[in-house]
């Protein structure tokens, strides 16, 4: 053959698909013909990707890289870098099964692809990680539940074949579906409406059947729904995933809280007795929500927060997230998601039928839910109920953190130990933050706050002190001490006695811990320094003020003792601001500390200096108040700074200057009252300003004005106490108000009125004395 | 199940470390491969060798942590995911670095690394290294399945860039065989690379 073959034939040569006789014929030509060779060269040219990668290989090796550098680094990493445990049970041996590969890792265990030898079928084998810690009773329960689940045969339920224990680990084998989970499916966004409705209808059918058989799923979520090639859902993990043992949460739960996003509120609250088929109805609603919107009804960056949302908040309407959702489906969805089980559909069967109605184009039975009511708001208007709410949330928070932590501890052998510590710490930190920020606003929550802190403290002390976390743990402990101190300070000790000393002891302890972590504020950790500055300021605040938290230990002002703490706090804040000049938190902390400092030196008689100092705080706070992230507390501290400035002026008899400052304080109080919802603080702010005004007028011997001011002070306190009857500071204030009235009446010669005011004052003081016991 | 760990050498190091970050062998290889890239990057940015070593160690740890904790998202390609965890690791590393107080001399050195350009450079280096690694694994796999002669033909013509004629003479092959070797070997490698990328993607999906 002397003419050149065409491209097709050449490709056959290259691919090796050409017949050998043809090749024999072609071969001599190809070996000689340069044109054909260059064509073969082209046809067999490297694909772009490989070429690119091959090119990478040339310019890489750096002459200075040596194996011994690699060895050194690897050794260093092995020594100090990684705390995660080796996953030694990589492929367990289970009798009767050949384990092939890992299908998935989950919070609860590992799922393997396996062959069941005697039945000769492919199965998914799930091993529970915590099995090795389970006691006999738990194993028994697991077996009973798994056997119950094994009785379920339904087209949309993954069958359970076998349950057992191998080498101390529970396992069960179940049907293997090659497909994806609904969780993965939803990562691509919501499903088309009808498809979603159809899928949830099928899931409801499966759940309705299970309920008929007396089995509640308890952990319905997208990860537990497998979707096969035809798009049909298959529910898995019936009654198995959640083994809740309420009696002894700490050791037996063995339950890692994964995502609570799909959990019903009664489950989220840990009310195990209330879990019923209606909890599954809720979760079906959550699944419908997720398929329609692509996200769960509630989600946040940590489990504790999500749980609080599940309990407190109303989900965003699906139609807001996805306007394509029909009103009917939204109605069905929100009815399932009702916080109150009695208001949900009363069975999964009902949900199934309702979805069928929707799919058949018939009218649905449920009526749209009226505009969602914000639970928390509602609570705020009903303080007594709010208190109950808080106690529920509180017990739940503690339970969650503790059980999460211990569950993970129990998993330590197989899982990552320091991950457990991290999660536990994060949960505890959320609690501490909740106590500081959220519950702080709730009237009547002082006892719960304290209980929470006590449990938190215990938990913190129980956490394994992995070296990585030691500082963080100590720091949290110190923060808890500070918060406890503040609580004793504000509310006394309902258990009786010594609140003042306890407050002080807690605060001192916190400051000591910080001093050990960061001697003289020398730590390089910015947020630690922020906490340290806060602790110093709070302790100083305690020391420099007089108070009668408990009568046995009245506290006199100790400005001289407070001073060094204030100076250290100011130094820390200033140092932090050098690196991070626009940080509002630090600016605020600085302003508060400076204000304290000014008050302390004022008490020590350095009045002009005090007036000058506090101006810096005022400038900072005025600026903070105008920023877009202004907070209530900016106003409060600004107000007290003006008062401090006014006090300094007042004490050195610069009455005009003092009046001007008190007037400014009053303006701040008004601005605050307009801007924020009315609370005890709103009134207390005014009462405070009026007290100062009263003193001002009294000093000037303008008794009618002084009287008017004391009366305003007293009225405001009256209103404040309606909103926060427990607050001792308010009561103390009230005693001061009546004493002021008494003195002015006396000065005005109105003896009867003076007597009356004295009587009122004495009543309050008696009440305070009794309540101290 | 010893064959499992044996088969693991055919899986990318990223997966091996993610599966078990205590595997010393995997770590050595990981350091040698990816550590080398980080180390070079440091030296190119004028770090002292001792500091470069320090930085390398830290970034590697961050990378391993990220691999273990950062969920794979199916809307990302595997490479996109890799890029993301690398970026996260670098960000983590600098965040910690900023929190630490160091002598100004070292700080000045480290500042060299803390720029968007420098970080993008490192991300690219590491991603390239991943591609190379995958390619190497693919090559190993193919090499085991093909006649040594044909493999050599491919190496010489593709990597050493000799002509078909030269290779044919050197290996005592016919010219069409040399080209068909090249054609077939690279097809197999490309298929293997794709498979590896797919399986990486799948393993990460399943595990997260």
Give every strand in the sheet of A180-181, ordered side by side: A180-181, A225-227, A233-235
Q: For residue B186, give the CATH number of its domain.
A: 1.10.10
**Cβ pair A27:B205 closer than 8 A:** no
Domain of residue A415 covers 381-464
Domain of residue B130 covers 1-135
CB A607 within 8 A of CB A651: yes
- Smallest Cβ distance to B175: which of A30, A103, A524? A30
Q: Are residue B19 and residue B56 in the same domain, yes or no?
A: yes
Q: Are residue B83 and residue B167 in the same domain, yes or no?
A: no
DSSP states along A510-530? HHHHHHHHSGGG--S-HHHHH
Query: Which tens digits make up the pLDDT trace of B131-158?
Result: 888 888 888 878 877 777 888 888 888 8
**Cβ pair A23:B176 closer than 8 A:** yes
- Which band of pLDDT confidence, cut at 50, 70 and 90, is reported for residue B48? confident
**Cβ pair A40:B164 closer than 8 A:** yes
B140 within some domain: no
**Cβ pair A82:B64 closer than 8 A:** yes
Number of continuous H segments (helices) and E segments (strands) in chain B: 11, 0
Number of continuous H segments (helices) and E segments (strands) in chain A: 31, 8
Q: For residue A119, give the CATH number of its domain.
A: 3.30.200.20
| Interface mutation target, options B55, B142, B183, chain A, most CBs of A under 10 Å | B183
**A365-383 core/surface letters (b: 16 or more CB in 10 A; e: else):** ebeebeeeeebeeebbeeb
Nearest-CA residue of chain B relative to A103? B206
Query: Which tens digits make up the pLDDT trace of A155-173?
Result: 999 988 888 877 666 788 8
CA distance A472 to chain B (A): 15
**Cβ pair B60:A73 closer than 8 A:** yes
Average pLDDT rounded to a whole number, residues B98-109: 68
Q: Which of A219, A531, A541, A739 is catalytic?
A: A219
A481 within some domain: yes
Q: Are residue B80 and residue B33 in the same domain, yes or no?
A: yes
Query: What is the pLDDT, as a whole number, of residue A80?
Result: 52
Which structure tokens are listed for A310? 């599940």
* Residue closest to A221 by CA, chosen among A255, A184, A195, A189: A184
Nearest-CA residue of chain B relative to A419? B69
- Smallest Cβ distance to A77: which of B43, B61, B131? B61
CB proximity list for A291: less than 8 A, separation 6 or greater: A182, A186, A190, A191, A195, A196, A199, A200
Q: What 3-state class would DSSP assign to A162?
A: strand
Q: Are residue A396 and residue A304 in the same domain, yes or no?
A: no
Nearest-CA residue of chain A relative to B7? A101
CA distance A83 to chain B (A): 9
Helix extents (H) in A679-727: 680-699, 703-723
**Cβ pair B180:A184 closer than 8 A:** no
Residues of chain B found within 8 Å of residue A65, distances taken between Cβ atoms:
36, 39-40
* Grouped pLDDT means (10 residues each) for chain A, 773 residues: 77 78 80 84 72 59 71 73 36 77 63 86 76 52 71 90 75 86 89 94 95 86 90 82 34 40 79 80 96 89 70 83 89 90 91 93 73 34 42 50 44 45 66 63 62 71 64 81 78 64 84 90 88 92 76 77 94 92 92 94 91 95 89 90 93 92 94 82 91 92 94 92 79 91 92 93 84 59
Task: For residue A227, give the DSSP letter.
Answer: E
Query: Which tens digits make up the pLDDT trace of A205-263?
Result: 999 999 998 888 888 989 889 999 899 999 987 755 443 333 322 222 323 344 578 88
Residues of chain B found within 8 Å of residue A99, distances taken between Cβ atoms:
1
CA distance A690 to chain B (A): 46
Q: How many domains does chain A have?
A: 5
Give the distance, in angstroms, between the CA of residue A708 and the centroid of all CA atoms in the same chain.
47
Q: Are residue B84 and residue B7 in the same domain, yes or no?
A: yes
Q: Are residue B21 and residue B90 in the same domain, yes or no?
A: yes
CB B168 within 8 A of CB B33: no
Give the distance, in angstroms, between the CA of residue A581 and the centroid of all CA atoms in the same chain.
28
B8 within some domain: yes
Cα separation values, A84 from A80, A145, A414, Å: 11, 33, 10
CA distance A301 to chain B (A): 13
Q: What are phi and psi of A122, to 5 degrees?
A: -85, 130
Instruction: Output the furthest CA–CA distance in chain A (Å, rounded).
Output: 136
Q: Are residue A217 and residue A265 in the same domain, yes or no?
A: yes
| Interface mutation target, options A41, A74, A179, chain B, most CBs of B under 10 Å | A74
A385 within some domain: yes
Q: Are residue B129 and residue B158 in the same domain, yes or no?
A: no
Which structure tokens are listed for A277? 């088929």
Q: For residues A65 and B34, what is the distance between their CA atoms, to the nearest angstrom?
A: 12
Q: Are residue B90 and residue B173 in the same domain, yes or no?
A: no
Q: Are residue A444 and residue A480 in the same domain, yes or no?
A: no
**Cβ pair A47:B207 closer than 8 A:** no
CA distance B26 to chain A (A): 10
Residues of chain A found within 8 Å of residue B183, distances taken between Cβ atoms:
14-15, 43-44
| Interface mutation target, options B16, B31, B127, chain A, most CBs of A under 10 Å | B31
Per the prediction, chain A carries an average pLDDT of 78
In the numeric block, the tokens 């002894």 are attached to A248
Q: Are residue B53 and residue B118 in the same domain, yes or no?
A: yes
Query: Which tens digits make up the pLDDT trace of A384-432?
Result: 334 444 544 555 555 444 444 444 444 433 344 455 566 666 666 766 7
Q: How many domains does chain B have?
A: 2
**Cβ pair B27:A99 closer than 8 A:** no
Which structure tokens are listed for A737? 């108000």
Sign of CA dihedral A730, A732, A733, A737: positive
CB A326 within 8 A of CB A363: no
- Which band of pLDDT confidence, cut at 50, 70 and 90, is reported for residue B208? very low
Q: For residues A633 and A639, what is the distance between their CA atoms, to the nearest angstrom?
A: 10
Q: Are residue A155 and residue A205 in the same domain, yes or no?
A: no
CB proximity list for A727: less than 8 A, separation 6 or greater: A490, A491, A680, A720, A721
A731 within some domain: no
Query: What is the pLDDT, as a whole number, of residue A272?
Result: 64
Q: What is the 3-state secondary structure (H, E, C) of A432-465?
A: HHHHHHHHHHCCCCHHHHHHHHHHHHHHHHHCCC
Opening angle at CA B20, ends B17 and B26, nearest 5: 45
A729 within some domain: no
Q: Are residue B65 and residue B117 in the same domain, yes or no?
A: yes
Q: Are residue B45 and residue B117 in the same domain, yes or no?
A: yes
**Cβ pair B57:A73 closer than 8 A:** yes
A127-141, A585-599, B70-84, B182-196: least confident range: A127-141
Dihedral angle, C-alpha A334, A340, A343, A347, nearest 10 °: 90
Q: Are residue B104 and residue B182 in the same domain, yes or no?
A: no
What are the percentages of helix, strand and coil residues in chain B, rounded to 5? 80, 0, 20
Q: For residues A658 and A649, what is the distance between their CA atoms, to the nearest angstrom?
A: 5
CB A621 within 8 A of CB A593: no
* Residue closest to A725 by CA, chosen among A673, A690, A767, A692: A767
**Cβ pair A53:B135 closer than 8 A:** yes
Count of CB contacts below 8 A, A vs B? 156
Query: What is the pLDDT, as a whole number, of residue A241?
Result: 42
Taking CB atoms within 8 Å and a gap of at least 24, the contacts of A583-589 are: A584/A624, A584/A627, A584/A629, A585/A530, A586/A530, A586/A533, A587/A620, A587/A623, A587/A624, A588/A620, A588/A621, A588/A624, A588/A633, A588/A634, A588/A637, A589/A530, A589/A533, A589/A534, A589/A537
Cα separation values, A679 from A439, B163, B197, Å: 14, 87, 60
Residues of chain A found within 8 Å of residue B75, distances taken between Cβ atoms:
187-188
- Smallest Cβ distance to A526: which of B28, B99, B180? B99
Q: For residue A499, give the CATH number of its domain.
A: 1.20.58
Nearest-CA residue of chain A relative to B163? A41
B117 within some domain: yes
A135 within some domain: yes
Residues of chain B found within 8 Å of residue A86, distances taken between Cβ atoms:
20, 22-23
Nearest-CA residue of chain B relative to A38? B164
Q: Are residue B44 and residue B94 in the same domain, yes or no?
A: yes
Q: For residues A91 and A89, what is the distance between their CA atoms, to the nearest angstrom?
A: 6
CB proximity list for B86: less than 8 A, separation 6 or greater: B63, B66, B122, B123, B126, B127
**Cβ pair A82:B24 closer than 8 A:** no
Domain boundary among A518, A542, A565: A565
A468 is catalytic: no
**Cβ pair A64:B68 closer than 8 A:** no
Query: What is the pLDDT, as a whole number, of residue A609?
Result: 93
Which structure tokens are listed for A602? 């004022």
Percent of chain B's residues with pLDDT above 70: 75
Q: What 3-state class would DSSP assign to A242?
A: coil
Q: How far separated are the first and last CA of chain B, in Å rounded?
A: 24
**Cβ pair B131:A26 closer than 8 A:** no
Q: What 3-state class would DSSP assign to A553?
A: coil
Q: What is the 3-state secondary structure (H, E, C) of B81-124?
A: HHHHHHHHHHHHHHHHHHHCCCCHHHHHHHHCCCCHHHHHHHHH
Residues of chain A found within 8 Å of residue B61, distances taken between Cβ atoms:
77, 81-82
Cα separation values, A392 from A80, A219, A271, A563, B183, Å: 42, 22, 10, 41, 70
Q: What 3-state class would DSSP assign to A89?
A: coil
**A599-611 core/surface letters (b: 16 or more CB in 10 A; e: else):** bbbbbbebbeebb
Which structure tokens are listed for A62? 């750096």
Tell me how long chain B is: 208
Domain boundary among B106, B135, B164: B135
Cα separation values, A449 from A387, A390, A642, Å: 11, 9, 31
**B146-162 core/surface letters (b: 16 or more CB in 10 A; e: else):** eeeebbbbbbbbbeeeb
Give every strand in the sheet of A160-166, ordered side by side: A97-105, A109-116, A121-128, A169-175, A160-166
Q: For the complex shown, is ipTM > 0.85?
A: no
* Residue closest to A107 by CA, chosen among A303, A266, A273: A303
Query: What is the pLDDT, as a whole number, of residue A250?
Result: 26
| Interface mutation target, options A19, A35, A44, chain B, most CBs of B under 10 Å | A44
Residues of chain B found within 8 Å of residue A24, distances taken between Cβ atoms:
none
| Interface mutation target, options A25, A51, A53, A54, chain B, most CBs of B under 10 Å | A53
């Amino acid at each position: 053959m002397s003419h050149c073959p065409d491209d097709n034939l050449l490709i056959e040569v290259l691919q090796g698909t050409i017949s050998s006789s043809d090749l024999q014929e072609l071969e001599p030509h190809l070996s000689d013909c340069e044109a054909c060779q260059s064509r073969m060269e082209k046809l067999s040219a490297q694909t772009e990707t490989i070429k690119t990668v091959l090119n990478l290989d040339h310019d890489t090796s750096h002459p200075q890289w040596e194996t011994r550098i690699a060895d050194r680094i690897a050794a260093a990493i092995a020594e100090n870098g990684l705390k995660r445990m080796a996953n030694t049970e990589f492929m367990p041996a289970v009798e009767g099964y050949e384990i092939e590969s890992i299908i998935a890792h989950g919070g609860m265990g590992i799922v393997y692809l396996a062959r069941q030898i005697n039945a000769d079928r492919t199965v998914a084998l799930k091993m529970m990680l915590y099995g090795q810690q389970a006691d006999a009773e738990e194993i028994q329960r697991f077996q009973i539940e798994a056997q119950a689940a094994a009785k379920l045969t339904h087209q949309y339920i993954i069958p359970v074949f076998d349950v057992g224990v191998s080498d101390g680990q529970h396992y069960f084998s179940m049907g293997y579906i090659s497909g994806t989970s609904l969780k993965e499916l939803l990562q691509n966004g919501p499903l088309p409406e009808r498809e979603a409705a159809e899928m949830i209808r099928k899931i409801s059918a499966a759940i309705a059947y299970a309920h008929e058989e007396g089995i509640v799923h308890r952990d319905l979520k997208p990860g537990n729904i497998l979707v096969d090639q035809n798009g049909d859902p298959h529910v898995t993990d019936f009654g198995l995933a959640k083994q809740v043992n309420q009696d002894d949460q700490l050791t037996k739960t063995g339950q890692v809280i994964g995502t609570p996003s799909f959990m019903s509120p009664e489950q989220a609250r840990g009310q195990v007795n209330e879990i019923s088929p209606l909890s599954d109805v809720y979760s079906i609603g959550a699944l419908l929500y997720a398929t329609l919107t692509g996200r769960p009804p509630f989600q946040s960056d940590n489990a504790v927060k999500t749980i609080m949302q599940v309990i407190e908040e109303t989900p965003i309407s699906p139609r807001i997230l996805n306007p394509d959702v029909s009103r009917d489906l939204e109605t069905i969805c929100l009815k399932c998601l009702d916080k109150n089980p009695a208001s949900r559909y009363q069975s999964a069967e009902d949900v199934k039928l309702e979805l069928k109605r929707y799919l058949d184009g018939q009218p649905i039975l449920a009526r749209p839910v009226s505009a969602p009511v914000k639970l928390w708001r509602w609570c705020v208007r009903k303080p007594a109920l709010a208190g109950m709410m808080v106690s529920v949330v509180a017990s739940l928070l503690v339970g969650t953190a503790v059980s999460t932590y211990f569950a993970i501890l129990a998993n330590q052998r197989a899982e990552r130990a320091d991950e457990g510590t991290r999660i536990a710490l994060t949960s505890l930190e959320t609690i501490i933050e909740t106590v500081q920020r959220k519950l702080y606003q709730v009237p009547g929550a002082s006892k719960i706050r304290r209980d929470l802190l006590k449990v938190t403290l215990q938990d913190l002390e129980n956490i394994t002190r992995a070296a990585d976390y030691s500082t963080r743990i100590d720091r949290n402990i110190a923060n808890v001490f500070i918060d406890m101190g503040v609580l004793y300070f504000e509310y006394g000790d309902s258990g009786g006695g010594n609140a003042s000393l306890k407050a002080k002891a807690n605060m001192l302890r916190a400051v000591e811990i910080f001093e050990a972590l960061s001697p003289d504020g020398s730590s390089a950790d910015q947020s630690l320094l922020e906490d340290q500055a806060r602790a110093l300021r709070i302790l100083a605040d305690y020391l420099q003020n007089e108070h009668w938290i408990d009568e046995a230990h009245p506290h006199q002002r100790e400005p001289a003792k407070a001073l060094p703490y204030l100076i250290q706090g100011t130094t820390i804040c200033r140092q932090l601001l050098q690196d991070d000049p626009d940080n509002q938190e630090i600016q605020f902390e600085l302003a508060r500390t400076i204000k304290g400092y000014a008050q302390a030196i004022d008490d020590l008689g350095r009045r002009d200096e005090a007036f000058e100092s506090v101006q810096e705080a005022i400038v900072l706070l005025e600026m903070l108040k105008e920023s877009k992230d202004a907070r209530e507390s900016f106003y409060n501290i600004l107000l007290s700074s003006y008062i401090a400035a006014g006090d300094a002026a007042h004490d050195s008899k610069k009455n005009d200057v003092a009046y001007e400052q008190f007037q400014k304080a009053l303006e701040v109080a008004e601005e605050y009252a307009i801007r924020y919802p009315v609370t005890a603080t709103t009134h207390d702010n005014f009462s405070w300003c009026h007290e100062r005004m009263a003193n001002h007028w009294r000093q000037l011997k303008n008794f009618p004005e002084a009287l008017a001011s004391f009366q305003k002070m007293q009225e405001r306190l009256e209103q404040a106490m309606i909103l926060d009857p427990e607050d001792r500071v308010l009561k103390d204030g009230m005693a001061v108000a009546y004493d002021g009235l008494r003195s002015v009446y006396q000065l005005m010669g109105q003896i009867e009125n003076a007597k009356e005011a004295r009587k009122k004052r004495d009543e309050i003081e008696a009440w305070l004395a009794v309540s101290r016991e | 199940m010893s064959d499992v760990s044996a088969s693991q050498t055919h899986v990318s190091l990223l997966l091996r470390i993610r599966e078990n970050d205590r595997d010393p062998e995997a770590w050595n290889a990981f350091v040698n491969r990816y550590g080398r890239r980080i180390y070079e990057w440091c030296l190119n940015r004028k770090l002292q060798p001792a500091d470069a070593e320090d930085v390398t160690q830290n970034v590697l740890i961050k990378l391993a942590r990220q691999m273990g904790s950062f969920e794979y998202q199916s809307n990302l390609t595997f490479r996109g995911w890799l890029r993301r965890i690398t970026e996260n690791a670098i960000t983590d590393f600098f965040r910690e670095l900023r929190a630490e107080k160091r002598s100004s001399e070292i700080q000045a050195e480290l500042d060299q690394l803390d720029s968007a350009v420098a970080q993008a450079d490192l991300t690219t280096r590491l991603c390239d290294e991943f591609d190379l690694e995958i390619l190497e694994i693919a090559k190993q796999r193919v090499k085991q399945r093909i006649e040594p002669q044909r493999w050599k033909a491919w190496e010489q013509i593709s990597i050493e860039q000799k002509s078909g004629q030269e290779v044919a003479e050197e290996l005592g092959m016919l010219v069409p065989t040399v080209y068909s070797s090249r054609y077939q070997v690279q097809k197999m490698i490309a298929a293997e690379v794709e498979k590896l990328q797919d399986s990486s993607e799948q393993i990460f999906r399943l595990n997260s």
